[in-house]
A and B are shown apart, each in its own frame.
Chain A
Amino acid sequence: MTMDEADESLLEALLAGEHRALARVISKIENRSPGYRDLVSELYAHTGNADVIGITGSPGAGKSTLVDKLAEAYRERGETVGVIAIDPSSPFTGGAVLGDRIRMASTVGDMDVFVRSMSARGTLGGLSTATADAVKAMDAFGKDKIIIETVGAGQNEIDIVRTADTVAVLVPPGSGDDIQTLKAGILEIADVFVVNKADREGADRTVQELREMVHLGEESGLAGSAGHHGVDAMDGDDSSWGDADESDAEDDWTPPIVETVATKGTGVDTFIDELANHRTYLVDSGTHAEKVRQRYAEEIRTLLREDVHALLEDELADSGGIDELAEAVRQGETDPYSIATDVLAPVEACVENLAADADDSSAE
């Protein structure tokens, strides 16, 4: 891949530790501005040194405050920190108010904590790619710890935190019934549970319920597979999350439950220890390599899907544009399946020709 001169000097500046350059590279990634791909592919050579931690939980669970304290604690240990805080954007205007920064007060004025807010910009699939790329940029910049913070409400956010090696799920106390509803998606991805606001009433009960849930999950083989949640999402087979680890059940990771009071900083050290334990487990059990491999597989697939999608957009425009085709369906003249087949036909023909050419040349 080749980069133009401006991007090359940008990359150099990033590697030299210039904050502005890191900020600009992340903007390029977010904007998908021309040349961002070459830039990111150059970044890869300089990555692999950071611990990536994902933090998710329901709105108001205290994520930003905990991330703030976590960053502060890492800084006290002499480690540099990058934070990617993701907030939803309006599906109507694309606008967003990114407010996580307000909570990050402990580390302001310390440039070695690099906080970046990102919004969904309408395309959630794209966001997980952009997040992964932004993590690469921070990793190449030399951050020791990278924290991804996102609100947890469903599947799309799960894709985002999958970028992380270790995922912490925050559960506020008194959310007994919520735990039941959370179970469907968020709980399976937890490597560490955090009951934040542990000084509130109901915290003990929430811890108890979580503990029961974790043990139940272990018995049924549904949970406790947290180390393997990078499993292939392309097949749309999300149930495979739990099945993947039957082969190595003996060295399974049981998600610990940590109690914290983020506003006071209570329990943050224990939380950090558990994050470190999980990291050690990942490396020792070989799960880490497996996870990283799966993550890259996913990235490759996503990129290819995006590229093919873009190709098809052009095809669509040639066939009269999506609006016209949709109108034709509305009029009852045709149906979406026929259109898809028609639009794809020239592309398929091309691919077949290519394959035929390849056969010819190998025959010679």
Chain B
Amino acid sequence: MSSEQEAESIRCLVAKVGLDGHDRGAHVIARAFRDAGFEVIYSGLHKSPDQIVQAAVQEDVDVLGISILSGAHDTLVPKIMDGLEEYGAKDDTLVLAGGVIPDEDREGLKDDGVAAIFGPGTSIEETIEFVRENAPQR
């Protein structure tokens, strides 16, 4: 059917999980993603892993960007990954992490299923480029 013109857009959930209240980075990313033509859903502050999973599943996002500056990433990220798994959403969601995440923790997070970690100093362009190239084709 010729009328089935696809109008696909990359959907991202920018998530603040845990108890840290530093959302400037998340705001900057949300805004940059929007300007890159993505559809961005912003979770708001202080969300639990369950809430993030719920939003990611219901919104059927291609990309989940998790911003953590509290240092609790080793606890929170696995919970989110398990939740995504539970709903069958783990395999085709590109999960990114941002914030202050020490180098020695990065391998562990990648083993959990995080595709990339963007620490301080990452350029916005780099992140957007990564999303464009790696967003799952469904």
User: B-contacting residues of A (Cβ < 8 Å)?
Assistant: 18-20, 23-24, 26-27, 30-37, 89-90, 93-99, 101-102, 105, 108-109, 111, 114-117, 119, 121-123, 126, 306-307, 309-311, 313-314
- Least Cβ–Cβ distance between B135 and chain A, in angstroms: 13
For the complex, what is the distance from the CA of A35 to the CA of B5, rounded to whole Å?
A: 11
Q: Please, could you name 18 A-B residue pairs with CB atoms under 8 Å apart, sorted by A?
A: A19-B57, A23-B59, A24-B60, A30-B7, A32-B5, A35-B4, A93-B34, A97-B34, A97-B40, A98-B39, A98-B40, A98-B42, A99-B42, A102-B43, A116-B58, A306-B3, A307-B2, A311-B2
Are A96 and B60 CB-contacts (below 8 A) given A108-B51, A108-B54, A109-B50?
Answer: no
Interchain CB contact (< 8 A) of B34 among A18, A37, A90, A111: A90
Residue numbers in A under 8 Å from B87 (CB-CB)? 19-20
Mark contacts of B1-24 with chain A using CB atoms, 8 A cut-off: 1 yes-contact digit, 0 otherwise.
Answer: 111111111010000000000000
B108 within 8 A of A: no
Judge whether B9 and A20 touch: CB under 8 Å: no
Instruction: Give the distance in Å from the alpha carbon of A32 to the alpha carbon of B39 in the complex.
Output: 16
Secondary structure at the A interface, as helix, strand, loop or mixed, is mixed
Q: Which residue of A36, A95, A101 has the most chain B CB atoms within 10 A of its CB atom? A: A95
For residue B104, which residues in chain A have a CB less than 8 angstroms away from its CB?
A: none
B116, CB-defined interface residue at 8 Å: no
Q: Are A126 and B7 in contact (CB under 8 A)?
A: yes
Q: Which residue of chain B is the closest to A98 with respect to CB atoms?
A: B41
**Top 6 A-B pairs, shortest CB-CB distance:** A310-B3, A102-B44, A23-B60, A95-B34, A93-B37, A31-B8
B7 touches A31 (CB 8 A): yes
Complex formed: what's the CA distance from A7 to B60 in Å?
16
A97 to B51, CA, bound (A): 18
Since A20-B88, A33-B4, A311-B3 are in contact, a sample of 6 more A-B pairs with Cβ atoms closer than 8 Å, ordered by chain A residue number, is A27-B60, A33-B6, A36-B4, A93-B36, A307-B1, A310-B2
Interface size class of B (residues with CB under 8 A): 35 or more
A31 touches B6 (CB 8 A): yes
Contact partners of B48 in chain A: CB under 8 A: 109
- Knowing A94-B37, A95-B40, A99-B42, the reply to whether A109 touches B54 (Cβ < 8 A) is yes
For A122, what are the chain B residues with a Cβ–Cβ distance below 8 Å?
7
With A32-B6, A33-B8, A97-B30 as known contacts, state yes or no: A117 contacts B59, CB within 8 Å.
Answer: yes
Closest to A130 in B: B7
B89 within 8 A of A: yes
Q: Which residues of B contact A37 (CB under 8 A)?
A: 1, 4
**What is the minimal beta-carbon distance from A8 to any residue of chain B, in angstroms?**
17
CB of B4 within 8 A of CB of A32, answer yes
Q: How far is the CB of B55 from chain A (nearest CB, A)?
A: 6
Smallest CB gap from A85: residue in B: B41
Is there an interface contact between B7 and A114, defined as CB atoms closer than 8 Å? no
Tell whether A95 pairs with B38 under 8 Å between CB atoms, given A31-B8, A307-B3, A309-B3. yes
Q: How far is the CB of A322 from chain B (nearest CB, A)?
A: 15
CB-defined contacts of B37 to chain A, threshold 8 Å:
93-95
A24 proximity list for chain B (CB < 8 A): 60
B94 CB to nearest chain A CB (Å): 15
From B5, which residue of chain A is reached at the shortest CB distance?
Answer: A32
Residues of A within 8 A of B39 (CB): 89, 95-96, 98, 117, 119
- A35 vs B35: C-alpha distance when bound (angstroms): 30
Interface centre among B9, B31, B89 (most CB of A within 10 A): B9
A24 to B12, CA, bound (A): 15
